[in-house]
Amino acid sequence: MTFWISTAAGKISAAAVRLFPENHSDLTPSEIQSIKQRFGIIGNAASLNFAIQVAAQVAPTDMTVLITGESGSGKESFSKIIHALSPRKHGQFIAVNCGAIPEGTIDSELFGHEKGSFTGATEARKGYFEVTNGGTIFLDEIGEMPLGTQARLLRVLENGEFIRVGSSKVQKTDVRVVAATNVNLLNAVQEGRFREDLYYRLNTVPITVPPLRERGEDIYLLFRKFATDFAERYRVKPITLTPDAQQELMRFRFPGNIRQLKNIAEQMSVLETDREIETRGLRRYLPQDQSSNLPMLLGATADGTAPQGLSERDLLYKVLFDMRRDMTDLKRLVLEVAAGAARGGDGAGQAQELVRQNSHLFTNVGSNLSVTPYDGGSRLGGRPTESAEPFILSAEPADADYVDDEVQRVEDITHETEEESLSLEAKEKEMIIKALKKHHNKRKYAAQDLGISERTLYRKLKQYDLE
């Protein structure tokens, strides 16, 4: 028999009271384990236990919860924990993927519509917020929600009011909202893709679900669970991993998290004839290229994205100019080293030190660098020999005039490169003017022609005083 106790936070069930004593102390390990068994959560990582602790503590309230975590990390399980341990557990629970609903119909899906409000609306329809009155709605991928729908959602969270599409009648609803996202909503706010007021309204209680790669031995526990499940489904013996293969599995980063691990376990259960898998066999199922080998854009942030105020084209120009400058520096260094080697004596020693100080400019070169004069060989400015031997820069001893001419030529190239670098803004300004003339000052088409957004073009017009 369930009874209700009135508290400042509202009504909570007797089961919830047992989980939440008056001092709000942490749940015991047995209570956390009971929640895991009930909702099929496997793992003992401290970060996972903490997320379960927060979900259980906030469940008896009506507070809005924002669950963050990478795709495939199991965010929906935490929304079910919150609903099942709340006073709304007998009400309806609906999970909505905001990224899977087209922008033109999401308002109708969430808030309903009246008959004839748009083409195809042959009858009135209730939305999810009306259907789940008294229950819980889980808004997954909330970061993909259009800005117009975000404004409607904010009104529901603030006042419990909504209006059907095509209607002017204000309706009331009592729905608890649990949202989830795998993107950084603060970055989305700064980029204008997410409302700041809605972010702070949703983020009343944040819960962070840890990615699989941070859960240590939980990875193998989950693998064994999936292997057992698929063995029963396909009527085969469960696969196991050798100790070395277990370590290899736990070292993998799993960008797809639990979903990716489950797919790997299923593939191995079906395809492997040997039921004990060694490291070599496991590696066939682990993608080797999980991270990009491309260099990070110049001035990019830690996640590889471009900083605000710089377009992709700006960054590409900077990378190209820097590459050309590095090549010029490398040419100059080679010539200076060759000149020192040609002079012999102290000059060779100075050249040796110069090579060591600028070793970062050379590729496929070890730390053993040496400079030795020699009798004959390649002409000055020739390409250095690539081998396993110490790197040798060589020059003809008596060609000082040639050296001076080459150094002067490289300095001229360097000066020319610097001039071109400084004229980048002028080139950009010139291209913008040409694009505007071509499209008769229509910014939209000029921006498309330039390969930038209309907003970026507007900013560039203000920057170069072209308005």
* Strand partners of residue 205: 65
Residue whose structure tokens are 């028999």: 1
- What pLDDT was estimated at residue 425? 75
pTM strictly above 0.85 = no
* Residues 159-170: tens digit of each pLDDT: 999 999 999 999
- What pLDDT was estimated at residue 427? 79
- What pLDDT was estimated at residue 26? 77
**Tokens at 465, concatenated:** 């005083």
* Residues in the chain, pLDDT under 70: 1-25, 289-318, 321, 335-423, 467
CA 456 remoteness from chain centre: 23
- What pLDDT was estimated at residue 364? 43
- What pLDDT was estimated at residue 311? 53
Q: Which domains does the chain have, with CATH numbers?
A: 15-115+124-208 (3.40.50.300), 212-283 (1.10.8.60), 314-422 (no CATH), 424-463 (1.10.10)
Q: Is the CA virtual torsion 104, 106, 111, 112 positive or negative? A: positive
Burial environment of residue 170 by CB neighbours within 10 A (0 to 12, 13 to 18, 19 or more): exposed
Q: How far apart are CA 176 and CA 193, in angstroms?
A: 24
Long-range contacts of 324-333 (CB under 8 A, 24+ apart): 324/417, 325/414, 325/417, 325/421, 326/361, 328/410, 328/413, 328/414, 328/417, 329/358, 329/361, 329/414, 330/361, 330/362, 331/410, 331/413, 332/407, 332/410, 332/411, 332/414, 333/358, 333/361
* Residues 293-310: tens digit of each pLDDT: 444 444 444 444 444 444
In this structure, what are the phi and psi dihedrals at residue 444, rounded to the nearest 5 degrees?
-60, -50
SS3 of the chain: CCCEEEECCEEEEHHHHHHCCCCCCCCCHHHHHHHHHHHCCCCCCHHHHHHHHHHHHHCCCCCCEEEECCCCCCHHHHHHHHHHCCCCCCCCEEEEEHHHCCCCCHHHHHHCECCCCCCCCCCCECCHHHHCCCCEEEEECHHHCCHHHHHHHHHHHHHCEEECECCCCEEECCCEEEEEECCCHHHHHHCCCCCHHHHHHHCCEEEECCCHHHCCCHHHHHHHHHHHHHHHHHCCCCCEECHHHHHHHHHCCCCCHHHHHHHHHHHHHHHCCCCEECHHHHHCCCCCCCCCCCCCCCCCCCCCCCCCCCCHHHHHHHHHHHHHHHHHHHHHHHHHHHHHHHHCCHHHHHHHHHHHHCHHHCCCCCCCEEECCCCCCCCCCCCCCCCCCCEEECCCCCCHHHHHHHHHHHHHHHHHHHHHHHCHHHHHHHHHHHHHHHCCCCHHHHHHHHCCCHHHHHHHHHHCCCC
CA 170 remoteness from chain centre: 39
- How distant, in Å, are the alpha carbons of 60, 71, 357, 421 from that of 210? 23, 11, 44, 45
Q: How far apart are CA 111 and CA 136, in angstroms?
A: 15
Number of H helices, E strands in the chain: 19, 13
* Strand partners of residue 170: 163
